[in-house]
Structure 1
Amino acid sequence: MGLPFPIFTWWNGATFGTRMGLRGKKRIGEDSLGNLYYEGGRDPNGIPRRWVIYKGSNDASRIPPEWFSWLHHQIEGAPEEVLPPVRGWEKPWVPNQTGTELAYRPPGALEKGGQRVRATGDYEAWTPDA
């Protein structure tokens, strides 16, 4: 199309104005998905302001837990510096799968055909005459 969409759209990445607003802010790090994290300035309560610039679509579920903790001031330094190393038994982080083909659908869900295993016979439906 030829138009510079980052100037006008926010849903597929940071706008030009957002990038200009990050001038002078300190880049703290980058996560495994390529999202960039910045810190700079203070809010009226004196708490440092923190930002995430998404790589790709703006979806808050695409922030890994360790960076979520940093964004919400649960930890002070960058996760690589403050948190312990990942243990072998920890599962890798995955983004929210709701609304995708990979979403969990229990037996009996319409997307899985709407059929479920029949009840074992210990269920008796209520009737007003009983």
Structure 2
Amino acid sequence: MGLPFPIFTWWNGTTFGTWMGRRGKTRVGEDSLGNLYFEGGKDPNGITRRWVIYSGSNDASRVPPEWFSWLHHQIDAAPDQALPAPRVWEKPAEPNQTGTRAAYRPSGALEAGGQRARSTGDYEAWTPDA
């Protein structure tokens, strides 16, 4: 092939235009998944623009909750400065697993064997004569 596909395709990562567009912008941080977060410039309403450059495939579910709140201007500073430390009982955020082997499949799903539990006998079917 020999063509540098990231220049033309946005779904595999960033394009050349994205990398060139970050000139003069500020890198704010990086999350545990390797996504990079930037801010700079203003939108027509005067609000600072914020965006993410994904590490790997472009999937919005791969943005952790703390960085989601920063991207949407719910907090002003980077999450490590503005938010308290995570609690012991909090689980780390996971990307959406739909379409992967790790996706949730209930016991009656065809992918999980397709065997449903038998009814317990408390169900009575409706009949028009009753």
Q: CA RMSD in A?
A: 0.9
Q: Tell me the SS of whatever aligns to 2:29.
A: strand
How far apart, CA to CA, are the structure 1 residues paired with 2:4 and 2:97? 30
Q: Specify the alignment match of 1:16 in structure 2.
A: 16
Q: Aligned AA for 2:69?
A: S
Deviation of residue 129 (structure 1)? 2.2
Q: Specify the alignment match of 1:50 in structure 2.
A: 50
Q: Specify the alignment match of 1:102 in structure 2.
A: 102
Q: Aligned AA for 2:94?
A: V
Deviation of residue 2 (structure 1)? 1.6
Q: Specify the alignment match of 2:35 in structure 1.
A: 35
How far apart, CA to CA, are the structure 1 residues paired with 2:114 and 2:128? 28
The CA deviation string for residues 29-61 of structure 1, in whole angstroms up to 9 with x for no partner, is 000011000000111111110110001111111
Runs of 4+ displaced beyond 6 Å: none
Q: Specify the alignment match of 2:119 in structure 1.
A: 119
Percent identity of equivalent pairs:
80
Deviation of residue 128 (structure 1)? 2.1
Q: TM-score, normalised by structure 2?
A: 0.96
Q: Tell me the SS of whatever aligns to 1:41.
A: strand
Q: Tell me the SS of whatever aligns to 1:51.
A: strand
Equivalent pairs, count: 130
Q: TM-score, normalised by structure 1?
A: 0.96
Q: Aligned AA for 2:100?
A: T
Q: Specify the alignment match of 1:71 in structure 2.
A: 71
